[in-house]
Amino acid sequence: MPIHSGSCHCGAVRFEVNADIDHVRACDCSICSKRRLLTFRVRRDALRLLTPWETMTVYKWGTRTAEDHFCRTCGMLPFRKPSRPTPEETAKGVTPFDGWAINVRCIETIDLATLPRVVVEGRRLSI
Ligand SMILES: [Zn+2]
């Protein structure tokens, strides 16, 4: 599986991710739409942070089960942990995901123009 190197804007946060990135997810929830965030989901152990966790801060909102990790210096979001489904969402068939959503814009070797976009209707979820 390919290994991609990624970073925030200032370089204080650097990471590697094992992933065969063949699409990107575009979520329409309140925060992803403002960020124009494009992500690719990987297993928890596919992400290796090469810089200290202390270079980042975490933003939580809504159900407070998602973790948005930001560089403390430049404010870039290299990756996030998606929210856990609420019991109501689980009953509707939303499956839990325990990995990371990587911000594909933080991987410079990825050509976003060539990747299909999968639209995720996050606005319907509790987040
Ligand atoms: Zn930074």
Domain of residue 57, CATH code: 2.170.150.70
How many whole angstroms from 31 Cα to the centroid of ligand 1? 19
Does 78 reside within a domain?
Answer: yes
Nearest to 14 by CA among 111, 107, 109: 107
Query: Is residue 28 scored above 90 in pLDDT?
Result: no
- What is the whole-number distance in angstroms between the Cα of residue 81 and the centre of ligand 1? 18
Asked if 123 and 29 touch (Cβ cutoff 8 Å), the reply is: yes
d(CA 13, ligand 1 centre) in Å: 6
C-alpha span between 77 and 70 (Å, rounded): 4
Query: Is position 89 within any domain?
Result: yes
Q: Tell me, in angstroms, the distance from the centre of ligand 1 to residue 89's CA.
A: 34
Q: Does residue 36 register a pLDDT over 70? A: yes
Name the 3-class secondary structure at 58: strand
Is 18 inside any structural domain?
Answer: yes
Domain of residue 51: give its range. Answer: 3-122
pTM of the model: 0.89
Q: What is the pLDDT of residue 59?
A: 94
